[in-house]
Structure 1
């Protein structure tokens, strides 16, 4: 059945292409004739598909005229059958030609004859097996599904592969910049986990310089209890980010759509995704520059702000975090991975 439906989908797709071409080439004078021809081609293909599916299911597809002749009880009764039955009844008896008067009298004197079940008399049983309407409906439905699948496949083939294009551009950018990608779990904490991984690899640690931010006691506890910067370091980075935004609310509050206390609480205690505001807070809290490689090859730079007097210019150039930002590659949506220098 699967091979048959696959062939049906291909034939339906080919027919749709032919119909599209015909309609494109139609003129005002020929449009009506071409539309009729296209309807006929589609109808013939659908009927053939229904017949093939019914045959595969062990049923003989009913002819089109048989379906039209079905009465409410599903039996066939044609004018020809009725006339033949009446002719047989009138010709029986004395063997003499009957007159209109005698025929009328005979009709009024006796009840209507019951159709004979003898093999010599035409009847519905001699027409063969009664068509199965449920099988026919299933066949039509299968043909419609095959047509819909063919159309969806054709539409998908013309759509842009954003995921494949993004990954290809990102890989080319990493190679050009001599960077190696570190996969981060896509769980809502990815931005903070990627930063924690980078801070640990650079030897900066998860505790920021006290001259930049004074941490709350709960934040200090989170920093001290991190077991693995790559796996649970996001807890410390989230808390540091929330503290910095709270201490510098005048810089961040104008860009928020909710009270700053509610905003920072979500950043610290939930899996709320991080974005531009959080990158700014991280860069300034830890005194690092952040370079984010975009899916189109661009590099977004977030600077640390006022330089720390204890860090000279040469040292500041080394305090750079690289992140990869995806929009289409991962199923959950936006995602950050960490990037390190290729060895």
Structure 2
């Protein structure tokens, strides 16, 4: 073999040794040796990377260890999963890596379970349907608790306290409440119910309103001193007085002491008003003979304002009603 052939053979052998001894890492290319065809002398077109240079230039980025060059040089490679797929890990290292991933996943599951226990949540996975049922059950329990709490509070509310006081006074007289609708006509319907209970001539709500408006207008000089503007507290002017009478006649305006005086005078009967606090008041007691028409006054029964109810003897049917329809 001549010298050129020996040189070529040596170059080929050297290239095989390089390919066997060095591991290509990342983007580092394997050394390439060129041959000068004229002189058949080896010429390095790219600098061969030594084992020491390989170790110095590679930056470890993960915890997986792989061989670099020979058995004594190691480097850390990023993305173990990629290494597993590329086959750069040995079988033993692949198994260890899978075990490591499984151990980390198990630790995360345990941590999640501990957090769920800390938050009072069950370990097992709950379906969406079960979550909806649990939510409805919680809401139902909450509503029930709120109802019970409201019922307990209602025992001491002004409305309940007032109602108990009125019922106690009625019981002493062997009477019970007869509820009247809260529609603005409660005073007139309570009076109508009392008229029917005593067998007296009854009238429609509209007729009672018309007669009351006429009475107030006729007795303006007597009643005006009791009629004030609710906003200013001043006595009503002539225009305000006329508007008051017209409102009484044409709308379901609430009635008070002025209307009670008018009704007692129109019907020529005394009208007694029983309330929770203080003695009863009677309109027309000095002018007309009894029996009294007995109605009740409630300050706190409805949020919209004061209310009037009628009464019944305890031994009578509670289902009787004065109604609110016109006759």
TM-score for the superposition, normalised by structure 1:
0.48
Greater strand fraction, Structure 1 or Structure 2? 2
TM-score for the superposition, normalised by structure 2:
0.50
Higher relative contact order (CA 8 A, sep 6+): 1
Greater helix fraction, Structure 1 or Structure 2? 1
